[in-house]
Structure 1
Amino acid sequence: MTKPVIIAGAGPAGLALAIGLAQTGLRILLVERQEEDMLSDPAFDGREIALTHSSIAALKRLGAWEKIAPGNIHPLAEARVLNGKSPLALSFDAGRRSTAQLGSLVSNCDIRRALFASAIEHSGIELIAGVSVEEVSTSDHAAQVSLSNGAEHVGSLLVAADSRFSTIRGKLGISARMNRLGKSMLVGRVELERHHDNAATEWFDNGQTLALLPLGERQASAVVTLPDGDAERLAAMDPGALGDELTRRFARKFGQMRMLTPMHNYPLTTSYSHRFITKRAALAGDAAVGMHPVTAHGFNLGIAGTERLARLVAAGCRLHGDPGHPVTLRRYEAGHRAATWPLYAATNAIVGLYTDDRAPGRLARGLGLRAARLAPARKAVSKLLMQGA
């Protein structure tokens, strides 16, 4: 059975790419190891995604945005950065732009649910759920996959969209720069005593990094990054004690906190693939670039990358009649590397600076915070946060 494009992975990147390609008239085979009911109604996983205006526009083009309940979309009006006990705060907002907010916060599970609902509306997308890709092979003329159910499929292009720990990437012979940080991110919803003013707060403190993401009236997502062992101990607390502990860690800036959900624990690993393409194959989403969550760009870069790939594949089909033409893939790799590497490198540098608790590190980030308060720097960062709004 031949399909023009085979996509391994039905997470947000895989679904977005499948929809984008199907909109051009291509036929897609989408393979996912999770069962279909988990794709159609994904469980809450604690992750809240800070969507830029560009990503929201992309979700609208994919037919997914209108499938998210308005009450599950939360405005992000401002972003604030705090450094230890310093009274200085660095604030970013939309400035004089036409929009009054930097973007919107939406739960990862709501985005996945909406993308899946949009994908199944396309007759050109065939989903095979509950199976994994066991073997892959590519040549100058075709890409072939062997599935765990014994089936084999051949296409003109294979796309790996199966997470930053991608097994397909390895099977294609592509290595990646993997950086296991020895820290974990805990995320969970809390009720606040004081209002958050629709502002996200990032607080680099000694021995921990904290964030508060505004969700609704006196509700927020609390994010705590700690060394792995400390994170596990914190996550194991009962809800009452955990709420008190978060209240203490956030120095009562938002008053008393009360847990609304359990804390979900995510060990932190960043990744950057040494190549994004090989013969008849490409990497998308986290399989290509796995960002540190501190600047909230991972999802947005992934969506932008799938739009880039879909656009180039469509153009390649018009010019060459071939979704996996080598010229198309080289253009994708060049464009995606140019778009991702500066942000990936800058984010890692920020993380290194703001999590260095040694005296020189504390001094450097204090000086950096003062410099960033200058108007040109603040405008540049606000533009980066909004990404083309």
Structure 2
Amino acid sequence: MSTSHFDIVIIGAGPAGLSFARSLAHSALRIAIVDPANMEQLRTPAPDGREIALTHPSKQLLQQLGAWQAIPEGQIFYLRSAKVVDGDSPFELHFKTPTASKNLSDDTLGYLVSNHHIRQALFEKTEPQANLTWFAEQKVQTVNADSSQATVCLSSGETIQAKLVVAADSRFSQTRQQMGIPVDMHDFGRTVITCRIEHSGTNENTAFECFHYGRTLAILPLTEHLSSAVITIDSQRTSEVLDLSDDALAADLEQRLNGRLGTIKVASSRYRYPLVGTHARRFYSTRFALIGDAAVGMHPVTAHGYNLGLYGQNTLSELIQKAETMGRDIGSGELLQQYDRRHQLKTRPIYHGTNFVVKLFTNEAPPAKLLRGAVLRVSNALSPVKSLISRQLTG
């Protein structure tokens, strides 16, 4: 079978892989992108129930890639504020749009966009890219590398050689394992179930996260009377949600929300995802780098997942473009170590901090309940803490 030669091979045409490919659109680098889906599936991805929270810096990066402008009209939703509640506690931790953000184009904490719309917009911009070759309907069989080049063998029998391989093939990346990169993995033993709901009351563009005992319920505002309900429950108890009729689920949500959204109607299919957090101990090997969920797979409670993915691919892209301009090796160990240092510094505190929050707010032991109640009361009273968290969203 034939052997093709490129500068970079990207494994995975999800949001992270597409973002990275698009960020190199104006370079002279020859890029290959490999994905098991066919071109039509990549061009028109199906809804998957995931609403992605985007920060202001992420919006700016997507604008630079041209993808923000390609998101369908009316499919960008605004997150004006957020509230966190612990069980039946009367205390709410309330995050409002910081005053400083009034200088921004939108007076909002952040944005909500469906995952499939992000993928569609990125593909629309990436598909005609002159320096990009597509290897659709292909699976990676093996990846290996030495000091001079990396080699990717595909399920078709074809071989691709490149200066650098970039893996964006999910938090369960097989290529990461093949390249000997260890990973910290935390199985939360829980499952996320999502669906859209219509409601007679207004959501006031406010995200609502309630840590009910036994399960967590998040409401993500879309339009005024349309939201995404995100239910997190012990994986052994998913039937308590999945086996309910639409009417029974709507009634359950009304009760758990104490009527704050009025009458509720289930407005979509339900989607389920196991909750497993991952963080690679390093983001590189010989002529090999990790981006997106292959580098860091976050618990969704703090909404950092794709934002970190965008940040990481942008960091790697900038280093590669600088090296190319200076005539240096884009797959050198020095460059990849620099990427690793920067992205580890950004992601590791957030990853472990998020896992700590999740453990605290899902622990049913009485001391934990007392502690998180105190955390909510103290945090709500300390405006600098709330401001710090809000500003991380707005950038």
Structure 2 counterpart of 1:259, from 260, 263, 266: 266
Structure 2 counterpart of 1:29, from 25, 28, 32: 32
Q: Indicate conservation of the 8 Å contact 1:46/1:188, yes or no.
A: yes
1:196 corresponds to 2:203: yes
Which runs of 5 or more residues in structure 2 are unaligned? none
Distance 1:379 1:236 in 2: 41
Which runs of 5 or more residues in structure 1 are unaligned? none
Tell me how far 1:38 sits from its aligned partner: 1.1
Deviations 1:181-218 (A, max 9, x none): 11001111000121000011111111111100000130
Amino acid at match of 1:204: F
Tell me how far 1:179 sits from its aligned partner: 1.0
Count of residue pairs the alignment pairs up: 387
1:115 corresponds to 2:122: yes
| 2:80 corresponds to | 77
Q: Indicate conservation of the 8 Å contact 1:48/1:221, yes or no.
A: yes
Divergent runs of 4+, >6 A: none
Distance 1:49 1:145 in 2: 31
1:364 corresponds to 2:367: no
Structure 2 counterpart of 1:14, from 3, 17, 20: 17
* Cα RMSD, aligned residues only: 1.1
Structure 2 counterpart of 1:328, from 335, 339, 357: 335
Tell me how far 1:320 sits from its aligned partner: 4.1
| 1:376 corresponds to | 384
| 2:393 corresponds to | 385
Structure 2 counterpart of 1:43, from 35, 41, 46: 46
Tell me how far 1:238 sits from its aligned partner: 2.4
Distance 1:230 1:38 in 2: 32
After superposing the two structures, state which structure 1 stretch, 89-98 or 107-116, moved more.
89-98
Deviations 1:51-97 (A, max 9, x none): 10111111111111111123001111001111111111111122212
Distance 2:227 2:160 in 1: 45
**3-state DSSP class of the match of 1:338?**
helix
Distance 2:29 2:94 in 1: 45
Q: Indicate conservation of the 8 Å contact 1:81/1:89, yes or no.
A: yes
Amino acid at match of 1:130: E
Distance 1:385 1:208 in 2: 25
Distance 1:19 1:85 in 2: 47
**What TM-score, normalized by structure 2, do the two folds share?**
0.96
| 1:56 corresponds to | 59
| 1:168 corresponds to | 175
Tell me how far 1:327 sits from its aligned partner: 1.2
Deviations 1:302-327 (A, max 9, x none): 00100001001111222343221211
Q: Indicate conservation of the 8 Å contact 1:239/1:262, yes or no.
A: no
Amino acid at match of 1:279: T
Structure 2 counterpart of 1:134, from 116, 136, 141: 141
Tell me how far 1:25 sits from its aligned partner: 2.7
**3-state DSSP class of the match of 1:275?**
coil
Amino acid at match of 2:137: G
**3-state DSSP class of the match of 1:220?**
strand
Distance 2:185 2:245 in 1: 34
Amino acid at match of 2:367: P
Amino acid at match of 1:79: A
**3-state DSSP class of the match of 1:22?**
coil
CA 1:363–1:52: 2 relative to 1, 3 Å: same
After superposing the two structures, state which structure 1 stretch, 310-319 or 6-15, moved more.
310-319
**3-state DSSP class of the match of 2:7?**
strand
Distance 1:160 1:95 in 2: 36
Q: How does 1:129-278 map to 2 (within 5 A)?
A: 129-278=136-285
Matched residues, percent identical? 39
Structure 2 counterpart of 1:305, from 308, 312, 325: 312
**3-state DSSP class of the match of 1:179?**
strand
Deviations 1:147-201 (A, max 9, x none): 0011001000001100001011111111211111110011110001210000111
